[in-house]
Each structure stands twice: as C-alpha cells, then as structure tokens.
Structure 1
Amino acid sequence: MKSVKDEVRQSPLKVGFILARSFTLSAFALFVDTLRLASDEVDKSGRILADWQVLGSTPHLITSSCGVQVAPTSDFIDPHEFHYIVVVGGLLNSDITIDSQTSNYLKKAAAQKVPLIGLCTGTFILARLGLMKAHQACVSWLHYQAYREQFPGHPVRSDRLFNLDRNRGSCAGGSTAADMAAFLVRRHISRDAERNALEVLQIERARSGLDIQPRKPLDIQCRDPRLKAVLITMERHTEDVVPTENLAASVGLSRRQLERLFMEEMKTSPGIVYKRIRMERARQMVLQTKAPLIEIALEVGFDSASHFARLFRRLYGQSPTELRRART
C-alpha cells in the first residue's frame, strides 16, 4: 500500500464541526477520528490529507450529553475554508441547542453553498433553521416520529445509515458516523486512506449509505436488506398505512416481487406482517398510556374502535380494556 506521504499532494479535506449543547460524544469522536487516521500513516495523527476545526461563537467549553466537555479550536471563519460543516446534535429535550450567532453562521454557509451535514440529531438543527425543506433527511429510527411531527412535509427516511442530497448530508448517528466519514475520505482522499483509518479503528468495512439501519421490528428475522427496509417503513407508518405497491416501489420492487420475498423468508404476506406491527404498537399504547381506545385505534390506522377491539382480542386473547385492567 502506498504511503500517504507518497500520494499526489492535494488540498487537504477540511471539515468544520459545530457541537450543539448536549451533543453526542461518540458520533463526534468516530467522525473526527476517521479523518485523523485517514490523514496520516497508521496512527501518527499528522494533519496531512485532512484537517478539522471545532467552531464556536465563544471559547467556552461545550458539554456533551455524557458530561465530557470539548473546547472550540476556532471562531467562525469563512465557511468557504471548509469542504463540509458538520453539525453534531444530541439530546432533543430543548429547542435551543445552538445560539443565534451559530444559527446565522450556518445560514451563511448554506447561502454560500457550503455542504452542511447533520450528524445524529444535528439534522433537526438544520431543519429548524429551514435548511432541510428541499433535502431528504436520514435520521435514526428512534427519532423518526419526532422529526415528522416537528417538520411536517420534510422528506425523511429512517431505514438507511446516512444520506447525501446535494449540499445537505444527514446521518443516523452512533457508529454510522464512521461510515459517513469514511465515505467522505474515499471521495476526497483515497481508498487507501479510508482503509488505513478503518483498520486502526478495528472496523472491518465501511457500510454504504444504502445499508440498512440495524433495527428488527417485532424481532422479525430476515436476511434480505430490502425486506429489512420495508419492515422499518411499516414500523414508522402505523397510522398512515403505506400501500403494498408503495412499499415495494421504495425498495425497487414490484408488488408481486415483494410478496414473493415475504413468502420466501417469512412464509406470510406483507399485509399480515404489517397488521402484526400495527397491533403490537397498539398493545404497547394500551399498556403504557391512558389514551382512549378510539385514539389508539386511529393511531394504528383503524377508523373503528370496535373493529380494532375485535382484532385485538383475536390476536392477544383479551380485549384492550381487559389487558389494561389486568396491568393496573
């Protein structure tokens, strides 16, 4: 393998980081360490092929969700200094996670067409600033409903690991931060640099933006990644039920092809699996909330509380009211 110092000299990949209050430390660390290890040989940490700064409106320490603090290394320099500006989000318990100066800086960067990436819940910050309306976001399955509720009409998916849509990127967070950083390294530096970073991080391979988030609704086992993506979509749409044709089209299949896949792997139809997922969501609501039955029925796509209650009894051996009473 060629030494990175033998590579054709090029302008380093430059990334600016903006850390929100209560940001996720692991996502930030994995992203920046992938850049660090790709920038120099083995583990020397020289900033040869990549460089980065933590940007801040003040020099004050920024506290992560786990309590570890990080100091900014630069003030808000010209956004054009960076190939990408990455916004690292964290806890969603506050609307005010960045100050007005930081908001204005991100809007300035967007106006100058500098690519912006939302890491973990950093995508919520970009959306709150009106910077994601025309761009598809990729968020964790854990945050999907919150994103849809806060930003109705914004395109979003929770089946993939990360996404780059023109001048906007988004990433589900966690270990996928390394996958997205590796993608940028491969694009701007080289495959050798990517491989060097991943080997030191003990990561066997970088997953692509087409890989599926590791989520198994109802612990349903399946091997085909297209089925995994469909199951996640079903879980995320229990109220506004997605027609089978649309589910199939979302993974590049016809309805008949999707039905055949379900029968091969699960020995049943997409409709039956979808109903199971919706009813399990209803069972959780019965046990965990005090919502009226009609509200629960509507939440999982039923217009009639009586129809919902009959199906519930057939599946679980007792009515929703009986189940709730038994747990009190």
Structure 2
Amino acid sequence: MIGVLIFPGFQLLDAAGPVSVFEIAMRHGGAYPAIKTIAVNPGPVRSSSGVELLARGLRPHGTISTLIVAGGSGVETAAKCEKTLGFVRAMARRGVRIASVCSGAYILAEAGLLDGRRATTHWRRTKDFLATYPRVKLEPDRIFTRDGNIWTSAGISAGIDLALAMVAEDFGDEVARDTARQLVLYHRRSGGQSQFSSLLELKAPTGRFGPLLAWAREHLDEPLTVEALAERAGMSTRHFARAFIAETGSTPSKAVERLRIEVARQQVQFSSAAIERVAETTGFRDPERMRRAFIRAFGQPPQSLRRAARAGV
C-alpha cells in the first residue's frame, strides 16, 4: 500500500501527483489501487490552496510499503511535530521505502533520515536547507535522488518523476512508460536532470545576477570563465563566486553549463543542426564533452533525445 503523509498547509499536487501516478500504474499492472492519505489528525486536511483531502490517522499501518511525504507552506510546523517525526522514524525502522516531494525533505531531515545521505529539495530552499541540515549531502541540481531506501525530489513535477521511477522499480519499465503516456507526459525524466526552473528565475530582471545570466545565454559560444563573468559583474573573482553561490545555490561554472545544456537540448530536439554544430555554438566545443553533459542531465546522449523528439515519444 502507498501511504501519503499530509499536514495542514500541504501542497495539493505534492500529494495528488504521486497518487495519480500510482493509481494508473497499479491498474496497468493488474493490481487494485491501494493508496491512503494519512495525517496526525484524521479527517479533512486543508491544503495551501484551501482544497481538503480526507486522511486517516497515524495509527500503525502495517501494510504500507511506500511512504510519500508531501511538502508545502505548512512544512515548518509539521517538521516540529513529534508525532509526525516519530511515525516517519517508525516507518524507516520497518524498512519502508520513504520519499519526500519538494520541501517534504525537511520532515525527513528533521527525523534524522537524511543524515549522511544524498538528498534534494526545491531549489528555492537550498540556502536554508544547507544551513539547517549541514549533515545532509544536498544535491540541489537534481530532479530527484535515491540513497538506499530513501528518495527525495524537487518541486511538484519532480515528485511525479520520482513516482514514475518507483513504478518502474515495482512494475517494470513498460508499465512506467504506459503510465507516463496516460498522464500525457513528454517523457520520464531521470533523477540526474537539473532543476532548469531555477534558471528561469535567475534570468528574471529582478534577480541580482539575472542580467548577467541573460547576457551569458546570448554568448554561450564564448569562454565564459568565472573570471570573465566576475569582470562583467564588476566584482573580484572571489567575491563574485561567493555571492553567486549564496544567491543561486549553484557555482557560476555549473550555471553556465546548465544554460548550455538548456539551449543545446532545444537545438538538438527542435532543429536539424548537426550535433557537432550544436556543440560548437553552445560553447561545448567538443561533441564528446556535450554528450557527457547530456548524460549527466538527462541520462541519455544528444542522439537519443533527437530520435525521441522526431519519433514523438
């Protein structure tokens, strides 16, 4: 049975996304959907949108094999609730597969489940999460991570990607693929894909480094070194690097690579330009270097993404 842990102020889609994935997957896999929402206090639980879900209490649920913890605006209060933390710890001791969506990682971290483990959460939470839980090996660029029996994911859509990965483990790739198709998803993203939504925010005019990144995006074929970026920002290299990481949660070189990957992906999927030409115009220079970057980001090389795009997969 899939248990989805919610609390007052939870994000509705953090719960509903994985619920829908498992419901469809179980039907495709020939099983009756067995999914329950649970909370400290049984009954209606109001989400941050005002929509309520009916939840069961935290009494022992011996049939739960996977526990998914939602995130949302009420997560700080939920992460201080001893009943919630005790329940999550008890599930972990039983060997239950435990996952978090978005800021639900705070509950897992507060329960001590993420100490020494790799994890991720929404990019907006990076700075606070790192300061609050220094023992967690946070990977802020990841869509989702898995470290043993503990899974964590970034934002709402990443929770769906995480659930699909669990479905692939439980029912096989074919069921996961059929589930993604029924949900009308373009494809199931690998956990290693970067949280490109952060770049949309960084490129916004209101962001401190927004104009710099907007400029960099238009000059990807140039050698965008940390020194060059610092000079354009009018800052010393050391101060620039520190300020950039503090504000964005990413190093300048990593941000540039993500910009290059984003633009290169668009050209690979939606243009007929040769792979070598794409690598050159986006600053990768070497097609092999771009191939390695694509595998890190998408779990597959540029040629595979192009074939999938042309096939409409």
Question: When the two structures are superposed, what TM-score results if normalisation uses the length of structure 2?
Answer: 0.64
The answer to whether the 8 Å contact 1:21/1:98 transfers is no
Match of 2:91 in 1: 109
Unaligned runs of 5+ in 1: 1-13, 221-234, 236-261, 281-295, 302-328
The answer to whether the 8 Å contact 2:43/2:56 transfers is no
For the aligned residues, what is the CA RMSD? Answer: 3.2
Match of 1:181 in 2: 163
Match of 1:134 in 2: 116
Alignment match of 2:132 (pick from 147, 150, 171): 150
Q: Cα distance 1:195–1:297, how it changes in 2: closer, same or farther (>3 A)?
A: closer
Q: Cα distance 1:299–1:191, how it changes in 2: closer, same or farther (>3 A)?
A: closer
Unaligned runs of 5+ in 2: 210-216, 245-313
In structure 2, give the amino acid aligned to 1:275.
Answer: A
Q: Cα distance 1:107–1:274, how it changes in 2: closer, same or farther (>3 A)?
A: farther
Q: Give the aligned length.
A: 228
For 1:235-282, what per-residue CA distance to the aligned partner results, in whole angstroms no more than 9, with x for missing partners?
9xxxxxxxxxxxxxxxxxxxxxxxxxx9x94412331366379879xx
**Offset, 1:154:** 2.0
Match of 2:40 in 1: 57
Match of 1:204 in 2: 186
**Offset, 1:51:** 2.1
Structure-to-structure mapping, 1:16-31, within 5 angstroms? 16-31=3-18
Greater Cα radius of gyration, structure 1 or 2: 1
Match of 2:261 in 1: none
**Offset, 1:107:** 1.2
The answer to whether the 8 Å contact 2:4/2:68 transfers is yes
For 1:51-92, what per-residue CA distance to the aligned partner results, in whole angstroms no more than 9, with x for missing partners?
21112333232111111111114643345x222211111116
Q: For residues 146 and 187 of structure 2, what CA distance do their matches in structure 1 show?
A: 19
Identity, in percent, stands at: 20
Between Structure 1 and Structure 2, the one with more helix by share is 2
Match of 1:38 in 2: 25
Q: For residues 21 and 30 of structure 1, what CA distance do their matches in structure 2 show?
A: 18
1:267 aligns with 2:222: yes
SS at match of 1:58: coil
Alignment match of 1:67 (pick from 19, 37, 50): 50
Question: When the two structures are superposed, what TM-score results if normalisation uses the length of structure 1?
Answer: 0.61
Alignment match of 2:107 (pick from 119, 125, 140): 125
**Offset, 1:113:** 2.5
Q: For residues 104 and 79 of structure 2, what CA distance do their matches in structure 1 show?
A: 10
SS at match of 1:300: helix
1:300 aligns with 2:283: no
**Offset, 1:37:** 1.0
